[in-house]
């Protein structure tokens, strides 16, 4: 599961939104691109989380098979 780096609430309270946007502009940060990237990352993380839940039984079954029998094509591995 992904973890997100968050600004501590005390820090956010100390800085107004206007101050943050002003500083972002001074630093050359495109706020819309950052927002879009974070949104895309959140969607991707949730999609992956859902896929893992939906496929948990198959993953467990495959892992048990490999544990018992080894990898199916292991003799052809180059590493």
* pLDDT value, residue 53: 98
pLDDT tens digits, one per residue of 12-58: 555 688 888 899 999 999 999 999 999 999 999 999 999 999 999 99
* pLDDT value, residue 77: 86
Element (H, E) at 25: helix 17-26
Q: Where are the domains of the chain?
A: 31-72
Q: Are 28 and 21 in contact (CB under 8 A)?
A: no
Q: What is the pTM of this model?
A: 0.56
Q: DSSP states of 41-61 as a string?
A: HHHHHHHHHHHHHHTHHHHHH
Distance CA(21)–CA(33), nearest Å, equals: 13
| Residue 73 token pair | 């094509």
pLDDT above 60: residue 3: no
Going by pLDDT thresholds of 50, 70 and 90, the confidence category of residue 59 is: very high
How large is the C-alpha radius of gyration of the chain? 22
* pLDDT value, residue 16: 82
């Amino acid at each position: 599961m992904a973890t997100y780096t968050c600004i501590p609430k005390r820090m956010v309270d100390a800085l107004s939104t206007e101050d943050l946007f002003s500083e972002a502009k001074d630093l050359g940060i495109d706020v819309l691109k950052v927002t879009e990237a974070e949104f895309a990352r959140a969607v991707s993380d949730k999609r992956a989380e859902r896929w893992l839940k939906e496929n948990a039984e198959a993953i467990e079954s495959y892992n048990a098979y490999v544990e018992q029998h080894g990898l199916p094509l292991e003799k052809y591995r180059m590493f």
